Amino acid sequence: MPAIVVVGAQWGDEGKGRVVDWLAREVQLVARFNGGDNAGHTVVAQGHTLKLHLVPSGILHPDLVCLIGAGVVVNPERLVVEMDELAALGVDVGPSRLKISAAAHVILSTHRALDGAREVARGRGAIGTTKRGIGPAYADKAARVSLRAGDMANPEQFAERVAETVRGHNRSLQELYGAETLSPEQVAAEYCAYARRLEPHLADGSALVGEMLAAGETVLCEGAQGLLLDLDHGTYPYVTSSSTVAGGALTGLGFGPRYVSRVIGVTKAYTTRVGAGPFPTELLDEVGDRIREVGGEYGTTTGRPRRCGWLDLVILRYAARINGLDELALTKLDVLSGLERLKVALAYERDTARPESGRRERTEVFPAEFGLESLARWKPVYEELPGWAEDISEVRSRDDLPPAAREYVGRIEEWVGVPITLIGVGPEREQAIV
Ligand code: IMP
C-alpha cells in the first residue's frame, strides 16, 4: 500500500516542501495534487534556497519522477520560469523527470486580472488572495469552460481557444469591475509559446500514478496550503479554491483509498496565517512580532508578513480527524527557543446563550461548519508550558532536547493523539530529528 500523503494541518506554510524533500529519498514519484502557484514551497539544499511554486518539492532528488497532477491549476508562465531556474542549478527538469497531467487546468493572465479585480470589489471583505488567479481558474473549471493542459498538445488550436477565453474574461473585467482588459492576441501568442515548450511534458497523470502503485512503487502525494484553507472544510470564505486535505490527493491524482499507507500532517510549532479571516490564537503583541522575525514569517509567494500566534491543538485535532492523520511532522521548533513561557490552546470557550448564568460553554471540537460569526465568538483556553533557552538547532535526537522542549512535543502528541515522527530544528535539510 505505497501511497504517502503529505498535507498541511494549519493555514498553509507549515513547511510541507521540507518534509516532502526529506521523504522523497525513499519514493519513486512525487505528485502534487492541488492548488497552483499560490503555494510557495521553500527547500534548502546544497546551500541553495529554492522557492518552488509548482514543481513538486521532490525535484532535487535525481532518481525520481515528479508529476503535476490533475487537481492542480497550472500557470505556464510561472512553471517555465521555475524550470529555467532549476535547470540553471543543474537540476534535470526534462520531460522524463517532470510530467504534467493532461487533465490539469491552465491559469490564464486574465484569471489573474479577474482575481485582482474581485479582491478590489470586495473592499473590506477582501479574502487577501495571492492574486495568482486561483479562484477564477477553479471557478472556470467547475463551470466547465476552462482550458486543460492537454489542450497544449495542439499549440495553434490552444492559442485560438486562449484568445476566445480572454475575450470572455475581458467582458467581465470591463462590465463587472471596470478593470483594464488584456489583448487576446498577445495572450494567445504567449500561451502558444508556453504550449510548445510544455507539450513534451504532458502525460496521463492518473495512469502513471496507477501503474506505479500497481507495481509496488511508492508515490508521495504532495499537498499545497493547509486544512483551514480547504474549500469544504476550511474557514470559508477565507479559503483557497481547492481540496487541501488528504481526500484531495485521491481526487487530485486519481487513485483509490486502499493504496494509502501513511498520511502525514505538517504543522509548525506555532501557528501562522496569511490573508484575512479568523485566527483564534493570533498574537498581536511583541511575542507575535518576535515569532515573525525569528521564524522569517513572510509569504514565499507574496512577501506579505504572516500573522503569528500560539499553537492551536483544537485545530490539530481537527486536522487529525479530517485527514485521518497517522503522523505529525512538527517544523520550526527552534523558533520558540528563548521564549520564557509558551501557551497552547487546548479548547475554546464562549458565553452561553444566557450570559447572566455566569457559565461558559466549552468545546474541544473545531467549530468549522457554522460559519465565521460563530467561530469569532469562541475564545481559546490556554495551557501554559515552560519555555527553553537553549539553542536546539544542532540536536538530532529527541532525548537530547531540553526537558521543556520534550514536554512541549509530548503534550502535543498527547492532546492530538497522533505521534510526532519528524521535528524540524533549523532550515537545512539535515536539521531535523527523525
Ligand atoms: P488564493 O489561494 O490565492 O485564492 O488565496 C486564498 C487564501 O489562501 C488567502 O488567504 C491566501 O493568503 C491563502 N493562501 C493561498 N495559498 C497559500 C499558501 O501557500 N500558504 C498560505 N496561505 C495561502
Burial class for 171, CB neighbours closer than 10 Å (0-12, 13-18, 19+):
exposed
pLDDT tens profile 400-427: 999 999 999 999 999 999 999 999 999 8
Task: From the CA of 115, give the closest atom in ligand 1.
Answer: 4
Give the DSSP letter of residue 149.
Answer: G
Does residue 49 surpass a pLDDT of 90? no
Lowest mean pLDDT among 68-77, 229-238, 293-302: 293-302
pLDDT tens profile 80-113: 999 999 998 889 999 999 999 999 999 999 999 9
Task: From the CA of 242, give the closest atom in ligand 1.
Answer: 2
Nearest CA to ligand 1 atom 1: 129
pLDDT tens profile 236-280: 999 999 999 999 999 999 999 999 999 999 999 999 999 888 899
Q: Are 140 and 112 in contact, with CB atoms under 8 Å apart?
A: no
Comparison of pLDDT for 89 and 175, the residue scoring more = 175
| Mean of per-residue pLDDT scores for the chain | 94
Find the 73 Cα to ligand 1 centroid distance in Å.
Answer: 14
Q: For residue 110, give the amino acid letter.
A: T
- Give the model's pLDDT for residue 89: 87
Does residue 357 surpass a pLDDT of 80? no
41 is catalytic: yes
Burial class for 294, CB neighbours closer than 10 Å (0-12, 13-18, 19+):
middle
Find the 181 Cα to ligand 1 centroid distance in Å.
Answer: 25
Does the beta carbon of 38 lie inside 6 Å of ligand 1? yes
- Give the model's pLDDT for residue 46: 63
With pLDDT > 70 as the criterion, what percentage of the chain qualifies? 99
Which of 127, 229, 272, 273 should be mutated for ligand 1, with most atoms under 8 A from CB? 229
Cα angle 334, 337, 343 (rounded to 5 degrees) comes to 105
Average pLDDT over residues 64-74: 98
289 is catalytic: no
Q: For residue 243, give the amino acid letter.
A: S
Cis peptide before 367 (omega within 30 of 0): no
Average pLDDT over residues 28-54: 87
- Residue in 224, 226, 427, 222 with CA at minimum distance from that of residue 333: 427
- Give the model's pLDDT for residue 50: 78
pLDDT tens profile 302-334: 788 999 999 999 999 999 999 999 999 999 999
